[in-house]
Structure 1
Amino acid sequence: MFVFFMVVLLVVAAIAANIVYAIYPKIPLAFYQIGAGLVLSLLPTFGHFQLEPEIFLLVIIAPLMFNDGQSTDYHVLKKNIRSTLSLAVVLALVTIIGGGLLSHAMWPAIPLALAFGLAAIVTPTDAVAVSSITTGIDMPEHVLGALENESLFNDASGIVALDLALTAFSTGHFSLGQGIEHFLIVFLGGILVGIILGGAIVLLRLYFQRRGLDAIAVILPFNLLTPFIVYLAAEHLGVSGILAVVATGIIHGIQQRRLRLTSTQTQVVTTTTWEVLTNLLNGFVFVLLGEAMPSVWANLSHSDSKHLPLLVMIAVGLYLLMGILRFVWCQLNLVDLKSKETRLKDGLILSLSGVHGTITLAMAFSLPLTLNGHAFPFRTALIFVAGIVILLSLLVPTLILPLLLPKKQEAFTQEEFNDQLVRMVNFAITQLKQTEADSTALNPVIEVLSSQKNELRSTADSKQVHKLLQLAENAEHAAIFELIDAGDVEAQIGWQYDRMQLMQVQFAFLNPFARLTLWFRLVAFRLFPHQAKKRYHKQLSQTIAAKKKAKQQLMQELTTRRPDGQLALPATTPQRQQLIQTDQASNRPTNHRHNLDHQQRREVRHTLTRQQRREVRRQFQSSTVKSQYWSNIAKLEQTGFNTVTAFLDSIETDDNQQEVNVIRHYYTVRHNRFNQSTTTAELENELFIMAFQFEYTYVQTAGKQEQLSPELIGELHKKISMDQLVYMQSTN
């Protein structure tokens, strides 16, 4: 449980570093992760935290190398195999030999075998770390490609060399011939085992696919377990597990490219999962570096404090030696970078870009804790030197490469993409509105489409939301009373529905404390009806007076005066016109007539006996009366929804889109509760498909008219495709 808790804290620290980097990306992510580890080191529980060395090799290095392998372009690797092997094998061995001799010469106390082991640890490069420090810099593609291909195999070279060095140190015997033979067997044997196991696993996946078993729940766990299975099998056979994992990853990458359009959902989910996992593992290691450095420094201060300056000098010497060897390797044309004119500059960039990161630190921590029952000698010193080399390899190119390379010129800015995205969505919404589709299905589609552009803006203004909500309430209120005045619904049902929808609106938009207060008032109304009714009638009278005043103001806005001074109401329905004429002839307001009818019904109701009231309730429970009641409610709700939708469409602008969408979302959800039908769902699907097609049409048209860059067009197409894929997944 303790180890699990520590690992969780390390993962949380890595996530926190990613958050800070997203806010301020000018500093490379690795430095944030190291800083998060330094913060964790302040906790007492991390004072003596250690992970078993085997866990690093199996849990961290194996999945990272597998993902690097399956992300590698096999054709590019095959084309540049000579340069790759020259950097990853020959240069790595030369660096290990030179670095071991230099370390032993600078510190004779360290055994020669461990000196070679230290050089093997700091030799592997990390392409991911290179990418993190070159963000915003225009890195030459041929140099970056050489670094990525090199990092695939020099990790294995370093690990095999480290294994030979540790074996020589533990046994005290080393033969050059036997060492070369062992190296070739482990190196080539690892590749062969990886190819065989990778091919077998791919064939098994194809069998699953033919049998219809290529579901995510089967393929994804199977894919995640692959590097662990291959690594353990190769190590059991006595060959390089890392190279076996790399070879298996390359086989998987080739197969994935052949199946680009098959099992699309599985491939998308698998790729995304591996991206998250590798980013987390890389961050985990750098956080662990930051966490371990204070304790390593403290241990050295207590035991070998006089050797601290010497260890720093050894780290600097190893870093300079590796940089010089890489530069000379390029100048001797032992690595083909396809650029004779810029060979000097490319060699300097290649030497500076030999960044050491995850693999180096993982190999350092993989050193045994004990040897023959005693603490492994010089383990802390070796880890300290490796940590200094990593920091130097991160810091030096971060400072120098921006002076040698220009800033990366993006094909389009984020502002341009956001602007085109908003215009694309607006175009699709406008086209959908012109189809005159049913608002019940159209509103949810517009709401989802609008969410794409609302993500680019700040949150909605609550004051403006409540202002628009009041206007929407007034519009629905007027529509309800229009139905009552026209006699299309019974007045009692209309008033009841009006009060119900007003209470729903208030409850939906109140803050949590106000909701709780309203809920207690409703409970009190149930428990103490007589006292609550007195307060209710008092508040109701005030509310009715306020509504009458608001309605008068609204009617004044909606009407004009004739030359004789009488109000001329706009024509609506024939029933309303007839009702208005009747009211004018009798010189009696329509609402007063309905109020009188309501008063008469109340008086009649109070004259009924209890048995008669029970009979009235029983009749109301009959299917006919209930059907009429809900028919009136449905008519009121549909009319109110259509009125509010038309009102929101009429007042919507670019400045108040977020606030309007908040109101539209509430009324859409409320309307969907009344109307759940398969026909509406099918119409929504059709509208979504039309919307995606309208977005594609906009990109095609805008690309020609506005001369958009191919990169921007491709990013917009990618956005539409991903939205379409997510929508199709959610509907299945």
Structure 2
Amino acid sequence: MAVFELILCIIAAVVVSSFASRFIPRVSTPLVQIALGVLVAYLPFFPDAQLNPELFMVLFIAPLLYLEAHEIDKSALLKTLKLSLSLAIGLAIATMVAVGFILHAVWPVISLASALALGAALGPTDAVAVSSLGKEASLSQRQRGVLKGESLFNDASGIVGFQFALAAAFTGKFAVGQAAGEFAVSFFGGTLFGLIVAAIANWVFETVRSLGWETTTTRILMELFLPFLLYLGAEEFHVSGILAVVAAGLFIRFDRTGVGPNVARTNIVSTSVWGVLSFSLNGAVFILLGMQLPRAMTASWSDPYINNTLLIGIILLVTAVVIVLRFIWVAGMLRLARDVNTGKRRKMTLERWRSAAVMTFGGPKGTITLSLMFTIPYSIAGGADFPMRDELIFIASGVIIVTLLLANFLLPLLAPNRGKDPSAEMIPITVEVLRNTVEELTGRITPENRRAVLMVIDLYTKRIARLQQRIGDVDPQGLERLQIEALHWEKEFVRDRLAQIKATPAADAATQELNEEACERMLDQIMNTLRHTASDPTSGHAVSQIRGRARMLQRRARNYAKRTISKIRRTTPLVSEDQIFARTRELQVEAIHHVIDRLVDEMGNDTYNTEHCSALLLDYRRAEASLQARPNVSGTAAMITQVEEVKRESYGIELGVIQDMLEAGDINRAQARTLRRNIYVMQVDADSGI
């Protein structure tokens, strides 16, 4: 029960970290999670339980490595394969040897086998931690590809080396020849086992799909089961479970085959489930790291036989060894690499030295290192306590924190965003988001919603065409500011019209209610859009949002109250939804005419760019023509309700695509905020186009 409570508390801490990291974007999420782990370790209600080391390896490493191998860009991996393998295998072995012998020489109380195990655990890097850093650094696609490829392969090499070094520390015996033979069997056997299982899994999943037996539930459960089956099955055959998981992850392809809405829907759900699982497992590991720090620190600090100053010095020494060795290795590889065009080796320029530094600090230690250290047994073969276990974990934890801090604060200095206008890059990114949204909407067409979905897809297609026409715009932000200003003109027009309606009531109650309801609904829509398009997330803006929402809720409550009273007094309401919809469209046309007149006036002034006024004027004329071309027939309200539901679904898809691109490192947080804001800006065009 204590372990179950521990898991629940860890998940709660991961949820808190997902919120906390949004308020401190310049600090990486792993650092936030480590700090939360330290905090919760001192909470009295937090259970004090320990996870079994073998369970920890299966529970965390197997699914994380499978997902990392499966999601990696295969073409980018092939382009940087040589450099990635050099770092993943050569540098990992060099780090293991250097850390092992230097640590044992400086602190002989740690055996050579234990020191080598620590060095092997410090070989793997954590590219996930880099992608979640403050988003202020600008890494090239090649640098990102090398780091991701390295983190994939050095996980396997580091884990295999760690397991053999740990076995020597556990038994006290280390036979080089026997270890080399076992390493070869484990390496190639694990790879072969993974490829065989991957081939079988591809055949099973594709057969089930072709027979029509696949459902979302069964597919996701089978896919989640696969990495655990791979790891445990390989261990039963005494080969590397880690390499089996990596090999299978690279060659699994059943989720990229098949067409149709059901397949698309299943793939979307599967991606969402894996995204949640990946964040949860990574977060849980760093929460556990923070929880482990006080325990390891207290045990070491209170031990009279351990010099605390020496312990901190060891952390700094090991960190220096890891960083210096990595910098030398990367610089050497850059010097030896031949130019793709000339075939000659290039000299190390200042820019190439900077690139070497970026690659050095861009490889912090993280999830795999900590997971490996947690698998150190509590006792050795003779039954005695494993010597210096807490200290080894503490050293590894210290190196992780130092490398994360260096990556968090030095990478933005080494690879800063050069002050480029981010809006110049937003149009191609926005087009990509819209295309992905259209693809997902296409997969969700059913006979019942076909007309509504096609109408929304047509709107997205027009948005893409308009954006592509604006690629040459020298100031995309200027057009966005004009769009927002046009919204304010619409708001002022509708607000004045509502005040005029209330000041001079209509002759009959039905007309009065119809006019007020149409104005209130359109005003709420415009105000909601303006709140989401605000670009400055300051405290004053937050207060304004709260006040605006309060006024909107107040207006809606007043309107609902009036309509309820009307229904109580009469058997039928004064006006129907179709009438309200038709009147709202008439009001939209009037508001569009008002904005068009303002835009025509502005074209003669110097306040806004003439090209921007012309482009927005064309958009509003198209919206006007679209509204006036649709007759007010019975059943229009029902159709517009269905279209609105599809549009809300499409906005959710857009937000999901943006979040996926952010987590994949394709965009930064500032670009994500702009894309989210654009959803609401472009929503105005979509609303008026139906």
TM interval, short-chain normalised: 0.5 to 0.7
Distance of aligned partners of 1:690 and 1:38 in 2 relative to their CA distance in 1, 3 Å threshold: closer
Number of the residue aligned with 2:264: 264
CA distance in 1, matches of 2:211, 2:677: 31
CA distance in 1, matches of 2:84, 2:309: 36
**TM-score of the aligned structures, taking structure 2 as reference length:** 0.65
Aligned partner (choices 379, 399, 402) of residue 409 of structure 2: 399
Give the drift of 1:57.
0.9
CA distance in 1, matches of 2:59, 2:135: 28
1:205 is aligned to 2:199: no
1:324 is aligned to 2:324: yes
CA distance in 1, matches of 2:131, 2:594: 39
Number of the residue aligned with 1:363: 372
Tell whether the 8 Å contact from 2:578 to 2:636 is kept in structure 1 after alignment.
no
Tell whether the 8 Å contact from 2:2 to 2:47 is kept in structure 1 after alignment.
no
Tell whether the 8 Å contact from 2:100 to 2:115 is kept in structure 1 after alignment.
yes
Number of the residue aligned with 2:439: none
Distance of aligned partners of 1:471 and 1:139 in 2 relative to their CA distance in 1, 3 Å threshold: same
CA distance in 1, matches of 2:387, 2:320: 26
Number of the residue aligned with 2:393: 383
| SS of structure 2 residue aligned to 1:332 | helix
Number of the residue aligned with 2:105: 105
Mapping of 1:207-222 within 5 angstroms?
207-222=207-222
CA distance in 2, matches of 1:21, 1:691: 27
Number of the residue aligned with 1:552: none
Name the stretch that deviates more: 292-301 or 258-267.
Answer: 258-267
Letter of the structure 1 residue corresponding to residue 92 of structure 2: A
Distance of aligned partners of 1:207 and 1:473 in 2 relative to their CA distance in 1, 3 Å threshold: farther
Number of the residue aligned with 1:340: 346
Give the drift of 1:414.
11
Mapping of 1:517-596 within 5 angstroms?
none
Mapping of 1:231-246 within 5 angstroms?
231-246=231-246
Number of the residue aligned with 1:175: 175
Give the drift of 1:138.
1.5
**TM-score of the aligned structures, taking structure 1 as reference length:** 0.62
CA distance in 2, matches of 1:248, 1:476: 73
Aligned CA RMSD, in angstroms, stands at 5.0
CA distance in 1, matches of 2:45, 2:250: 41
Letter of the structure 2 residue corresponding to residue 377 of structure 1: P
| SS of structure 2 residue aligned to 1:306 | coil
Tell whether the 8 Å contact from 2:91 to 2:123 is kept in structure 1 after alignment.
no
Name the stretch that deviates more: 367-376 or 158-167.
Answer: 367-376
Letter of the structure 1 residue corresponding to residue 50 of structure 2: Q
Tell whether the 8 Å contact from 2:26 to 2:133 is kept in structure 1 after alignment.
no
Distance of aligned partners of 1:634 and 1:184 in 2 relative to their CA distance in 1, 3 Å threshold: same
CA distance in 1, matches of 2:169, 2:578: 87
| SS of structure 1 residue aligned to 2:51 | coil
Number of the residue aligned with 1:699: none
| SS of structure 1 residue aligned to 2:307 | helix
Name the stretch that deviates more: 20-29 or 237-246.
Answer: 20-29
Distance of aligned partners of 1:653 and 1:16 in 2 relative to their CA distance in 1, 3 Å threshold: farther
Tell whether the 8 Å contact from 1:56 to 1:366 is kept in structure 2 after alignment.
yes
Distance of aligned partners of 1:28 and 1:337 in 2 relative to their CA distance in 1, 3 Å threshold: farther
| SS of structure 2 residue aligned to 1:375 | coil
1:50 is aligned to 2:50: yes
Distance of aligned partners of 1:507 and 1:312 in 2 relative to their CA distance in 1, 3 Å threshold: closer
CA distance in 2, matches of 1:175, 1:236: 23
Letter of the structure 1 residue corresponding to residue 387 of structure 2: P
Number of the residue aligned with 1:435: none
Give the drift of 1:188.
1.8
Number of the residue aligned with 1:641: 580
Give the drift of 1:687.
8.7
Give the drift of 1:327.
2.3
Distance of aligned partners of 1:465 and 1:189 in 2 relative to their CA distance in 1, 3 Å threshold: farther
Tell whether the 8 Å contact from 1:137 to 1:408 is kept in structure 2 after alignment.
no
Give the drift of 1:58.
1.0
Name the stretch that deviates more: 341-350 or 239-248.
Answer: 341-350
Give aligned-pair identity as a percent: 31
CA distance in 2, matches of 1:349, 1:75: 23
Tell whether the 8 Å contact from 2:25 to 2:134 is kept in structure 1 after alignment.
no
CA distance in 2, matches of 1:22, 1:146: 28
- CA deviations on 1:397-455 (whole Å, 9 max, x unpaired) are 3332222223166774499779x99xx9xxxxxxxxxxxxxxxx99xx99xx99x99xx
CA distance in 1, matches of 2:68, 2:553: 56
Number of the residue aligned with 1:38: 38
Tell whether the 8 Å contact from 1:475 to 1:643 is kept in structure 2 after alignment.
no
Give the drift of 1:207.
0.6
Letter of the structure 2 residue corresponding to residue 386 of structure 1: A
Distance of aligned partners of 1:481 and 1:206 in 2 relative to their CA distance in 1, 3 Å threshold: closer
Number of the residue aligned with 1:278: 278
CA distance in 1, matches of 2:287, 2:553: 49
Letter of the structure 2 residue corresponding to residue 11 of structure 1: I
Distance of aligned partners of 1:208 and 1:82 in 2 relative to their CA distance in 1, 3 Å threshold: same
Distance of aligned partners of 1:405 and 1:637 in 2 relative to their CA distance in 1, 3 Å threshold: closer
Mapping of 1:388-537 within 5 angstroms?
388-407=398-417, 412-413=422-423, 478-480=507-509, 509-510=556-557
Number of the residue aligned with 1:87: 87
CA distance in 1, matches of 2:647, 2:3: 53
